[in-house]
Amino acid sequence: MRRRTFLSLSLAAAAMPASAKTETVAIAVGDTTLATMPTDFNGLSYENTQLYNPDYFSTKNAGLVAAFRGLSKAGVLRLGGSLSNSCRWKSEAGTFETPAQTAIVEEGRIKKWEWKLCDPTVKRDGAITPAALASLRGFCDATGWRVIYGLDCTAGGPERARDEAAHVVAALDDRLLAFQVGNEADFLPQYKNSPTDKVGDFERYYRDYQAFVAAVRQAAPKAPFAGPDTAVAMDWVDAFGKREGRKAVFLSSHLYDMGPGNDPSQNAELLLSGKSRLPSQIAEAAQAMKNSGVPFRLTEVNSCYRGGRPGVSDAYASALWCADMMLKRAAVGWAGVNLHGGGDGIYTPIEAAVDGSTKLRPLYFGMQFAEHFAGAELMACEAKTDANVTAYAARKGGRKLLALINKGAERVTVAQTWVKPARITRLTAPALDAKTGVVLKTTAAQGATTVPAYSAVILIG
């Protein structure tokens, strides 16, 4: 063996420690259907300033079209993000800017790090235009996706929203799933009661929200809305649901499992441990859905806030995390999730390279793994083990699916009688910190099922 090859394999083995011990995981599947995973559950989230480049979300971008279709034939693209609070719109009617709004746009242009989440050709002094919306419609028709469109409630007022939304509705038509007003408004200064207030004033936001809706519906009477798209404030979600009820397409908020990205303690072990505020968010979302009768969608989610953690968010560990994250949320009846990214950001599922090409990151394959369950009825399922393994069972089109995600260092053998697998899909990689070599492959099932350390399988029968 050549020395370079030997060193490469040795480093890979060191990066993915595995115990020689084999655990047996007993799987118990009940008769109760927990939820049906919607066919449009899978989604991506981008800064809406990506529309400054009208050729990005366009049929001209064949690599991106293929990447979106490879994730889902009916996904949801959310355009919002932090930059949506300081973006510019320009139509034949003008830019609708006031001196105060111009200052907000300029501050965002200079200070916000999120520009890294736009492709390299985006110019910070650009604007969203009707031409970009026309390109976006072609992109949606080519991919089968729909759009959640964020309206700027900081640098843009209701008059701008009326003009912008009218163009969005005209361009997207049935490809528009919903408008949202503001991104993470619970963190915006105008809704804070004091400098130390961690969660803003919902009543003030809701008055502004109503003004935006009224303005938009002057131009587009049937325009669909959702919200409130908060960073953390699930009490806002509940209050919004109670006020809007079924007038809202869905309720929405965000979640990052760890962070910030510059903290070295935010590592793969922590990401795969499952420690986050998810349990409380699940409980609060369930209450909000019950109170309003409206579904809940996680419109912005990823592994590590403030841009991601190098060697974790852009590596294979993120694929295992994502597969589990998506199925866990599907099993509690959520409407969908949107993985945030774009450009060459550390946590983006799809990289926009400098040369204009599209590259698939490890996270993308975790999304593909979960997509196998789109349209499936998720059943009550328990993995009886002390190992770091989760299990998800489902029925789909006369078939049974059983996913096992092994996020630990021990190899596991599966003991179950629920499904007799004819095929098996495996998610593997050379190492937890591997940025290439991630494989998602389906083969014929043979013999007993073993799930190696840090890997995932779907038994199909």
- Tell whether 10 is covered by a domain: no
Q: Which of 319, 344, 374 marks a domain boundary?
A: 374
- Tell whether 4 is covered by a domain: no
Amino acid at 117: L
Together in a domain, 164 and 242: yes
Amino acid at 202: F
Together in a domain, 232 and 298: yes
Together in a domain, 446 and 299: no
CB 229 within 8 A of CB 185: yes
What DSSP assignment string belongs to 201-241? -HHHHHHHHHHHHHHHHHH-TT--EEEEEESS-HHHHHHHH
Question: How many domains does one find in the chain?
Answer: 2
| pLDDT value, residue 23 | 87
**CATH code of the domain covering residue 130:** 3.20.20.80
Along the chain (461 residues), what's the average pLDDT of each consecutive run of 10 residues? 32 49 92 97 98 98 98 98 96 93 93 96 96 98 98 93 98 98 94 76 95 97 98 97 97 97 96 93 98 98 97 98 98 98 98 93 98 98 94 97 97 95 97 97 89 97 96
- Tell whether 446 is covered by a domain: yes
Long-range contacts, 54-58 (Cβ 8 Å, 24+):
54/129, 54/131, 54/132, 54/134, 54/135, 55/135, 56/119, 56/121, 56/122, 56/352, 57/132, 57/135, 57/136, 57/139, 58/135, 58/136, 58/138, 58/139
Q: Which of 374, 407, 430 marks a domain boundary?
A: 374
Please, what is the Cα angle at 447 between 445 and 453, to 5 degrees?
80
Together in a domain, 326 and 191: yes
Q: Dihedral of the CA atoms 117, 119, 124, 129 (nearest 10)?
A: -110
- Tell whether 261 is covered by a domain: yes
| pLDDT value, residue 196 | 73
Q: Which domain holds residue 391?
A: 15-35+378-460
Together in a domain, 277 and 423: no
Across the chain, which distance is largest between two alpha carbons, in Å? Answer: 72
**CATH code of the domain covering residue 403:** 2.60.40.1180
Tokens describing residue 215: 């303005």
| pLDDT value, residue 199 | 72
- Rounded-to-integer distance, Cα 158 and Cα 218, Å: 11
Q: What is the pTM of this model?
A: 0.94
| pLDDT value, residue 200 | 79
Strand runs (DSSP E) across 290-335, as ranges? 296-304
Together in a domain, 43 and 95: yes
Together in a domain, 343 and 408: no
What is the rounded end-to-end Cα distance, in angstroms, of the chain? 40
Together in a domain, 408 and 342: no
Tell me phi and psi for residue 62, to 5 degrees. Answer: -60, -35
Together in a domain, 137 and 230: yes
| pLDDT value, residue 167 | 98
CB 322 within 8 A of CB 370: yes
CB 104 within 8 A of CB 113: no
Q: Which of 341, 374, 407 marks a domain boundary?
A: 374
